[in-house]
Amino acid sequence: MRILMVGNGGREHTLLWKLKNDAPTATFFATQPNGGMAALAEGVEISPGDTEALAGWAASNSIDLTVVGPEAPLADGIADRFRAEGLPVFGPSAAAARIESSKAYSKKLMRNAGVPTADFRVFRDLPAAEDYVREQGAPIVVKASGLAAGKGAVVCETEDQALHALREMMENLRFGEAGREVVIEECMRGEELSVFALTDGKGALILLPSQDHKRVGEGDTGPNTGGMGAYAPVSLVNPKLMEDVEKKVLLPTLRALEADGSLFQGLLYAGIMLTHEGPKVVEFNCRFGDPETQAILPLLSSSLLEPIATIAEGGSVAGMKLRWHSGGAVTTVLASAGYPGSYEKGKAIELPPSLTEDPNLFVFHAGTRRSAEGLLTSGGRVLAVTGLGDSLGEASRKSLVGADAVNFDGKYFRTDIGWREFARDEGMRP
Q: How many other CB atoms are there within 10 angstroms of residue 313's CB atom?
A: 14
Q: Which one of ligand AMP, ligand GLY, none is in contact with 100 (Cβ closer than 5 to 8 A by kind)?
A: none
Kindly determine how many residues on this chain lie close enough to bind ligand GLY according to the rule CB under 6 A. 7
Closest approach, Cβ 85 to ligand AMP, in A, equals 33
Q: Which residues contact 240 (CB under 8 A, 6 or more apart)?
A: none
Which SS3 state, helix, strand or coil, does residue 2 take?
strand
Residue type, 263: L
The residue from 74, 153, 228, 406 that contacts ligand AMP (CB under 6 A) is 153
Closest approach, Cβ 171 to ligand GLY, in A, equals 26
CB 318 within 8 A of CB 363: no
Establish if 72 lies at the interface with ligand AMP (CB under 6 A).
Answer: no
Quick one: 43 or 139, whose CB is closer to ligand AMP? 139
* CA proximity to 188, closest of 237, 248, 120: 120
Establish if 36 lies at the interface with ligand GLY (CB under 6 A).
Answer: no
Query: DSSP code of 202?
Result: S
Sheet strands (E) in 91-243: 120-123, 140-144, 153-156, 182-186, 191-199, 204-206, 211-212, 215-217, 221-224, 229-232
Establish if 188 lies at the interface with ligand AMP (CB under 6 A).
Answer: yes
Establish if 366 lies at the interface with ligand AMP (CB under 6 A).
Answer: no
Closest approach, Cβ 153 to ligand GLY, in A, equals 11
| Category of 330 on φ-ψ map: left (φ > 0), alpha (ψ -120 to 50) or beta | beta
The residue from 12, 71, 185, 200 that contacts ligand AMP (CB under 6 A) is 185
Q: Which one of ligand GLY, ligand AMP, none is in contact with 227 (Cβ closer than 5 to 8 A by kind)?
A: ligand GLY
Task: State how far the Cα of 378 lies from the Cα of 26, in Å rounded to an integer.
Answer: 28
The residue from 6, 141, 163, 304 that contacts ligand AMP (CB under 6 A) is 141
Establish if 289 lies at the interface with ligand GLY (CB under 6 A).
Answer: yes
* CA proximity to 202, closest of 85, 96, 88, 87: 96
Quick one: 206 or 428, whose CB is closer to ligand GLY? 206
Establish if 187 lies at the interface with ligand AMP (CB under 6 A).
Answer: yes
The residue from 285, 294, 310, 336 that contacts ligand GLY (CB under 6 A) is 285
Quick one: 80 or 292, whose CB is closer to ligand GLY? 292
Label residues 89-103 b or e (16+ Cβ within 10 Å = b): bbbbbbbbbbbbbbb
Q: Please list every residue from 340 through 379 that binds ligand GLY, using CB under 6 A.
A: none
Q: Which one of ligand AMP, ligand GLY, none is in contact with 181 (Cβ closer than 5 to 8 A by kind)?
A: none
Q: Which residues contact 338 (CB under 8 A, 6 or more apart)?
A: 344, 380, 410
Closest approach, Cβ 292 to ligand GLY, in A, equals 6
Q: Please list every residue from 263 through 282 that binds ligand AMP, using CB under 6 A.
A: 271, 282
Q: Which one of ligand AMP, ligand GLY, none is in contact with 153 (Cβ closer than 5 to 8 A by kind)?
A: ligand AMP
Closest approach, Cβ 164 to ligand GLY, in A, equals 24
- β-strands 2-6, 65-68 pairing: parallel
Task: State how far the Cα of 379 lies from the Cα of 342, in Å rounded to an integer.
Answer: 10
Label residues 54-67 b or e (16+ Cβ within 10 Å = b): bbebbeeeebbbbb
Task: State how far the Cα of 371 lies from the Cα of 358, in Å rounded to an integer.
Answer: 26
Q: Which one of ligand AMP, ligand GLY, none is in contact with 8 (Cβ closer than 5 to 8 A by kind)?
A: none
Quick one: 148 or 405, whose CB is closer to ligand AMP? 148
Q: Which one of ligand GLY, ligand AMP, none is in contact with 289 (Cβ closer than 5 to 8 A by kind)?
A: ligand GLY
Establish if 290 lies at the interface with ligand GLY (CB under 6 A).
Answer: yes
Residues in the chain: 430
Quick one: 292 or 394, whose CB is closer to ligand GLY? 292
Quick one: 46 or 141, whose CB is closer to ligand GLY? 141
CB 253 within 8 A of CB 280: no
Number of helices (H), then strands (E), belonging to the chain: the values are: 15, 23
Quick one: 146 or 150, whose CB is closer to ligand AMP? 150
Binding site for ligand GLY (CB under 6 A): 150, 212, 227, 285, 289-290, 292
